[in-house]
Amino acid sequence: MKHAAIVSVALLPLIAACSAGSQNAALPGIHAPSPNPSPSGPGGLSQIQHIVVIEMENRSFDNYFGTFPGANGIPANPSCNPDPKTGKCIFPYHDTALRNYGGPHSDWAYAVDLDAGKMDGFITAAESEPKYADPDPDEVMGYHTCAEIPTYCAYASEYTLADENFAATTSWSTMAHLYLVSGWSAICSVPGDPTSCVSSNDVDFTKGNYAWTDITWLLHEHRVTWGYFVYPGGLLEPYVQDDSPGQNEFATTSWNPMPAFTDVQQDGEESDVQSGSQFIADATGGLLPSVCWVTPPFASSDHPAANIDNGQSWVKQQVDAVMQGPDWPSTIILLTWDEWGGMYDHVMPPVVDGLGYGFRTPLIVIGPMVKKGYIDHQMLSSDAYLKLIEDVFLGGERIDSRDRRPDSRPDVRENTPGLGDLANDLQ
């Protein structure tokens, strides 16, 4: 059973292994740092030949790393979040449960959570949406420590943890995954016409009409290989999933937008949407595409109400496959979570155009050329992931009107003022 409300937050010490990367090997089930040396020669983006983005689900930064040493975590005097049903004042508390329900995470829920900067509406939002059916809505105020997420803590301790990484929008997974590959989320009135698209935080993936330009258009033009790797059982709609092999594996879903992008169809690259088992084979065989996106099965996604032990085991399988393969010395892995899932976070997001940003989510940057035991305090989002891909493989070209396929996007998110540069996380 979850803990009762805690009136003041004492940031309890993390397990000793979380405070030093050298102790990671002592954590149960954690892959020890690779013995492979970093590539020789000058540092910088030239070292990178492969970028792997692993996108997990529905966790705020404070929910996972609110007590991580050195990070911008839960403050000593956080906002009270009132529970309208009980009248109690709920503060962040240590939640040892491995299954959480979370809360709503759409535009309206974001506004309720934020409450004009008071950050005190998370429980109110959770109790306003009956479909979540959480027996204890106060759990959205809970946070985990390394006792519950030792695998993630080990990676964060050994490599780089970003504590100012924001969800791309103030909405749910469909929009997050669209931004992950295209820097935009939109509704298009004319199938196949990129100039007919208008910004939207409420895209229905079942309509299957993403006419604007995604990053693979530029990758294809520059002859850069890519793969979007999908495990069976990706989310179809809230709390409806099927982890059976072969079920809906390559269909357009909230977590797999690629088949519905017109430019993917025009380039004849539908086959670059591949199975998760192929990612493991490519990683272990030294055949990784230059750019990879990997999405989990629901049961291993960290999405409520999946067991977070499953998520850590699945992530470790993906990371181990890369670490133990010949492409490891030239690979950067971006392990991230798509949006906050209704979970409490204490940082008010900056405003970016009409759709974002949403609340903070974790980002761990993993690789042999990545800074060790480092906390990145730059403002980041999936826009910065695209920026890194473009800077490494496309000579800094952005997804905009110069890409020979103009669309009607209102801005170029990779050029957002103040957006950080993941190149700063390299040694």
- Tell me the HSE value of 48 on the side-chain side, using a 13 A CA sphere: 27
Using alpha carbons only, give the angle 71, 396, 366 rounded to the nearest 5 degrees.
35
**Backbone phi, psi, residue 219, to 5°:** -60, -45
Quote the DSSP letter at residue 237: B
CATH topology of domain 22-28+43-62+142-425: Alkaline Phosphatase, subunit A (3.40.720)
**What is the pLDDT at residue 68?**
98
Query: Which of 59, 102, 92 is closest to 362 using CA atoms?
Result: 59
Query: For 380-423, how does the pLDDT look when each residue is reduced to its tens digit (9 = 90+)?
Result: 999 999 999 999 999 999 998 777 899 999 999 999 999 999 99
C-beta of residue 185 within 8 angstroms of C-beta of residue 200: yes
* CA pair distance 355, 367, nearest whole angstrom: 31
Token representation of residue 282: 């490519």
Give the chain's residues under pLDDT 70.
1-43, 130-134, 233-249
**What is the pLDDT at residue 250?**
80
* CA pair distance 270, 265, nearest whole angstrom: 6
Domain ranges of the chain: 22-28+43-62+142-425
C-beta of residue 163 within 8 angstroms of C-beta of residue 360: yes
* CA pair distance 265, 258, nearest whole angstrom: 9
Quote the DSSP letter at residue 16: G
Distances in Å between the alpha carbon of 24 and those of 20, 31, 131?
Answer: 7, 8, 39
* CA pair distance 141, 92, nearest whole angstrom: 5
* CA pair distance 303, 254, nearest whole angstrom: 13
Token representation of residue 43: 């540092």
**What is the pLDDT at residue 39?**
34
Query: Which of 390, 323, 317, 359 is closest to 151 using CA atoms?
Result: 317
C-beta of residue 360 within 8 angstroms of C-beta of residue 60: yes
C-beta of residue 45 within 8 angstroms of C-beta of residue 423: yes
Q: Is 381 in a helix, a strand, or coil? A: coil
Query: Which of 173, 27, 150 is closest to 98 using CA atoms?
Result: 150
Token representation of residue 312: 């850590």
Q: Are strands 374-376 and 160-162 parallel, antiparallel or unpaired?
A: parallel
Query: Which of 15, 6, 31, 17 is closest to 313 using CA atoms?
Result: 31
b/e sequence 180-202, b meaning 16+ C-beta within 10 Å: bbbbbbbbbeeeeebebbebbbe
Query: For 212-263, how does the pLDDT look when each residue is reduced to its tens digit (9 = 90+)?
Result: 999 999 999 999 999 999 998 655 443 444 444 445 568 899 999 999 999 9
Contacts for 46 with CB less than 8 Å, ≥ 6 apart: none
Q: Are strands 363-366 and 160-162 parallel, antiparallel or unpaired?
A: antiparallel
**What is the pLDDT at residue 74?**
97
End-to-end CA distance of the chain: 43
Roughly what angle, to the nearest 10 degrees, separates helices 276-285 and 308-323?
30
* CA pair distance 124, 309, nearest whole angstrom: 28
* CA pair distance 69, 284, nearest whole angstrom: 33
Contacts for 64 with CB less than 8 Å, ≥ 6 apart: 143, 144, 149, 152, 337, 362
